[in-house]
Structure 1
Amino acid sequence: MTISLDGLDLDALDRHLRSEGIPRDGELRAELISGGRSNLTFLVFDDAAKWVLRRPPLHGLTPSAHDMAREYRVVAALEGTAVPVARAVTMRNDDSVLGAPFQMVEYVPGRVIRHTPELEAIGDQAAVNSCVDALIKVLADLHSVDPEQVGLGDFGKPTGYLERQVRRWGGQWELVRREDDERDDDVKRLHSALAEKIPAQSRSAIVHGDYRIDNTMLDATDHTKVLAVLDWEMSTLGDPVSDAALMCVYRHPMFNLVHSDAAWASPMIPTADELAQRYSVAAGHPLDHWDFYMALAYFKLAIIAAGIAYRGRVGGGVSDDIDKVDDAVAPLIAAGLTELS
């Protein structure tokens, strides 16, 4: 009899893997991987193989933020492209195995850089810069993939992405805000300003929706080699410039309140303007209406922070510092308003 973790019934998973014909060798074990703020992530292993399993949090789910089928589909589709991904293994989009949807991919050995000391261990500033360039090239490579050619032509609507993003994150705020929230006026002011200034979509591409260094797996010895892009739960067809803008906004110091001592917010990472310029060169596209895209990214990150705090309040098991995370919302909204002023 195996021992189950909260949210992971190993006996049920073992039966599922065997029914799917996935080779097994010895007792199935698992451990919770730290770092996930939205979905629960587990390392699952037996005597011969390792996998990574993701499932929604136990409580405090918000609509469309935990789509296991979406994440699994894009990873499977990108296998064999210039975008490095872990090999897709199995997925269930119902509650029949674990009581919640889940998806599982092969474990990729390497290192995830989450915190500043791990970034500093890469080397000097030149070494960090070369790592950043490699990460930006992967994002540009993703945006150059033809969705139709990899079977993702129907992965999302090719137009209207910006309108949907503004509407979606405004709606998310209504779900995760505190009662009598004193930030409500500023949030609605930024939401209205964004709705009034939506530009024509730059182009349509596969977007990751949450791209930064800690959502990638790097080679353990070669910091310029990205082994896999992780955490595809926000991916869709959309405007690639919005993807680049969110990467740049994660560089903001307030991101340290959402993810303590975040590597991507370290002073060793190039500034947001520098990141934007490097992306523009790598992608071969200008960044028109950049102030709008940055404001939208600040808005999105603020609502994400509010959602993390909300799940903490209702016992979602994804954050033990919800007050600090909640403190990031107001300055992020203020930064978005400044972009549009």
Structure 2
Amino acid sequence: MSTTDLPGIDLDVLTSYLGTRVDGGLAGPLQGEIIAGGRSNPTYALTDGDRSWILRRPPLGDVPRGAHDVSREFRVLRALGPTDVPVPRTVACEAEAGVLEAPFYVMDRIAGRTLRTQDDTGTLTVAQRRGLADAMLDTLVTLHEIEPAAVGLDGWGRPEGYLDRQLARWRRQWHAIKTQDHAGVDVLFDRLDAAVPQTRFAGIVHGDYKIDNVLVDQDDPSQIRALLDWEMATLGDSLADLGMLVSFWDEPDRFHNPITAGATAQPGFPSAHDIVEGYARRRDIGLDEVDWYIVFSDLKVAVILEQIHARHLRGETVGDGFDGIGAMVAPLIDRARDRAAASALRSLRVG
């Protein structure tokens, strides 16, 4: 790990800060490194040579109001700690700049493995891939069936009108940050707006549920050690998470989401159709309008990637892996258009 300060954090300041907040103090000065992934909120690994932690903070540069609120991540992690949803133990949070140049929070670093690429999932057996898919569905359903008030999250978000607000937010974000024009974006937003489903299953929404946001056991990758990256979590329509999972669920011989790039397009992983059916079966619910959530997820991810691309062009990203982000945007918009055109929901079909 690096012994020098890293972009966006000051290790000397953090050594003094954490020294009074962790049990038994620190064993020595903190060292740190930027963790790959986490393309939105920068993520750092910290260690005192004995124990390890993770720090997350908002991106460098200007951040849209209400976006990248790390204190929200901290609150949901702390609330879910006693539940059956696997999350890291929280350590400390600063909701305002002061200690560092930006808000941040710190949590324990959990030993495990992140599966980001086809090469990563290629090391799993067919049975392990099948088991991991089941574990991901079980974890998602466990999260969605938690009563928010029971874990102190009542008032943390507004499920009523959640989908309408999401549509308005991401349309606004697109026009605020776009570096390229795409004629299909507003058409898709208009069609989605005309077909907004009624929220039938309000609950805790993770907001970015995909394979590389689960930390799996080193020895048994069908076991989930922790669910990570809660920066978009809120109370809302829980089916939004299912739509996001399907958007990121790659299948053989089909277009792959540029982020996951074929990670689940391996023998043993079920089809996207089976993912939807497995979720519905576990919750004993019907999913007639699931196409809406999937199309919206493709479009939302495209806007998020365009935001990251815009920040990268301004020199406001840290770490590697950003050079190809801009090229990922148009293919996702095109897939959202194609999915809408093929949908069983008439109001989504865009010729």
Short-chain TM bin? over 0.9
Question: How far apart are residue 166 of structure 1 and its match?
Answer: 0.7
Partner of 1:328: 328
Distance of 2:133 and 2:193 partners within structure 1:
32
Output the CA distance in 1 between the equivalents of 2:309 and 2:319. Answer: 7
The change in CA–CA distance for 1:262 and 1:106 in structure 2 (over 3 A counts) is farther
Distance (whole Å) between structure 2 residues aligned to residue 155 and residue 262 of structure 1: 35
Q: 2:243 aligns with which of 242, 245, 256?
A: 245
Matched, 1:306 2:306: yes
Identity fraction in percent: 36
Q: Please give the per-residue CA displacement for 1:205-224, whole angstroms capped at 9, x wherever unaligned.
A: 00100011110111111122
1:318 Cα deviation (Å)? 4.7
Cα deviation 1:307-334 (Å, max 9, x = unaligned): 1211111112257565632233223223
Cα distance change on mapping 1:309 and 1:57 into 2, 3 Å: same
Are 1:88 and 1:104, in contact at CA under 8 Å, matched by a contact in 2? yes
Distance 1:287 1:262 in 2: 25
1:29 matched to 2:11 = no
8 Å Cα contact 2:128/2:220 also seen in 1: no
The structure that is helix-richer by fraction is 1
Structure 1 window deviating more from structure 2 (321-330 vs 107-116): it is 321-330
C-alpha distance in 1, partners of 2:262/2:101?
32
Q: CA contact under 8 A between 2:7 and 2:318: conserved in structure 1?
A: no
C-alpha spacing 1:322/1:84, structure 2 compared with 1 (3 Å): closer
- 1:118 Cα shift? 1.3
Residues 58 and 102, structure 2, Cα contact 8 Å, conserved in 1? yes
Distance 1:19 1:242, change over 3 A: same
Structure 1 counterpart of 2:136: 135
Aligned residue number for residue 118 of structure 1:
120
CA distance in 2, matches of 1:18, 1:319: 27
Cα 1:321–1:229 shift into 2, 3 Å? closer
Gaps in structure 1 of 5+ consecutive residues:
none
Shift of residue 174 of structure 1? 1.4
Residue among 75, 97, 100 paired with 1:98: 100
Instruction: Quote the residue 1:108 is aligned against.
Output: 110
Contact 1:36 1:318 in 2 (8 A): no
CA distance in 2, matches of 1:255, 1:321: 18
2:195 equivalent in structure 1: 197
In the TM superposition, residue 6 of structure 1 has moved relative to its aligned partner by 1.1
Change in CA separation of 1:249 and 1:218 when aligned onto 2, cut-off 3 Å: same
Query: Contact 1:207–1:240 (CA<8 Å) still a contact in 2?
Result: yes
Deviation digits for residues 8-34 of structure 1 (CA, Å, limit 9, x no counterpart): 101111121234365211121111111
Question: How many positions carry a matched residue from both structures?
Answer: 335
Q: Is the 8 A contact 2:244 2:297 kept in 1?
A: yes
Secondary structure of the structure 2 residue equivalent to 1:31: strand
Matching residue of 1:235? 233
Query: Could you tell which deviates more after superposition, 193-202 or 68-77?
Result: 193-202
Structure 2 unmatched runs, 5+: 341-347
Task: Kindly indicate whether the alpha-carbon contact (under 8 Å) linking 1:248 and 1:275 is maintained by their aligned counterparts in 2.
Answer: yes
C-alpha distance in 2 between matches for 1:300 and 1:150:
28
Residues 277-308 of structure 1 show CA distances to partners (whole Å, capped at 9, x for unaligned) of 11112232221311211111111111112112
CA separation of 1:174 and 1:52: change in aligned 2, threshold 3 A: same
Aligned to 2:88: 86
In structure 2, how many angstroms separate the alpha carbons of the residues matched to 1:276 and 1:239? 16
Q: Write the letter of the residue equivalent to 1:244.
A: L
What is residue 13 of structure 2 aligned with on the other side? 12
Supply the distance in 2 between the matched residues of 1:256 and 1:325 (Cα, whole angstroms).
Answer: 12
Question: What TM-score results when the alignment is normalised by the length of structure 1?
Answer: 0.92
TM-fit CA distance, 1:46: 0.6
Partner of 2:67: 65
The aligned counterpart of 1:158 is 159
1:278 and 2:288 equivalent? no
- Give the partner amino acid of 1:303: V
Q: Does 1:3 align with 2:14?
A: no
**Aligned-CA RMSD value:** 1.9
After superposition, give the CA deviation of every residue in 1:249-273 in whole Å (9 maximum; x if it has no partner). Answer: 11256555335x4524557643321
SS at match of 2:33: strand
Q: How does 1:30-49 map to 2 (within 5 A)?
A: 30-49=32-51
TM-score under structure 2 length normalisation: 0.90
Q: Which runs of 4+ in 1 moved over 6 A?
A: none
Of the structure 1 ranges 11-20 and 208-217, higher mean CA displacement relative to structure 2 is found in 11-20
Q: Relative to structure 1, is the Cα distance of residues 41 and 264 closer, same or farther in structure 2, using a 3 angstrom cutoff?
A: farther
Cα offset for 1:119? 0.7
Q: CA deviation at 1:37?
A: 0.7
